[in-house]
Amino acid sequence: MPPSAIKPFRRHIFVCVNKRDGKPACEDHDAKAALAKAKEAMKALPFSKRDGVRLSQSGCLGQCEHGPVAVVYPSGKWISYASADELVHFVLEAIEAAD
């Protein structure tokens, strides 16, 4: 198999925005709005800081009872956030983390 031309991200952050019928889910806590705020905060950073970082909305991450949740790779660090500001802090901290 030839080597992949796909360049890996330095950080990839997934924010669950899933909704489930009659069951707890992250979007019950306005996860989409929190993600939008985190994206704004990230875009406000100089390009050199956010280069190689991807902030993605995701479907269910399998932690619904702890929602709303987000996770960053490659560290595998999770957050169950209580506010949009807490998610923003998590995202900015993940971007700043030493390699």
Residues that bind ligand FES (CB under 6 A): 16, 18, 20, 25-26, 60-64, 67, 69
Smallest gap from Cβ 50 to ligand FES, in A, equals: 24
Cβ-based nearer residue to ligand FES, 13 or 26:
26
**Least gap, CB of 29 to ligand FES (angstroms):** 9
Cβ closest to ligand FES, residue 20 vs residue 49: 20
Task: Pick the closer one to ligand FES by CB: 44 or 82.
Answer: 82
The residue to which tokens 């702890």 are assigned: 66
The C-alpha atoms of residue 1 and residue 77 are separated, in whole angstroms, by 32
The three-state secondary structure class of 69 is strand
CA-wise closest residue to 60 among 47, 75, 70: 70
Rounded to whole angstroms, the Cα distance separating 2 from 37 reads: 40
Give the amino acid at 44: A
The distance of closest approach from Cβ of residue 48 to ligand FES in the complex, given in angstroms and rounded to an integer, is 32
Q: Which is nearer to ligand FES, 18 or 91 (CB)?
A: 18
For residues 33 and 21, what is the distance between their CA atoms, to the nearest angstrom?
A: 20
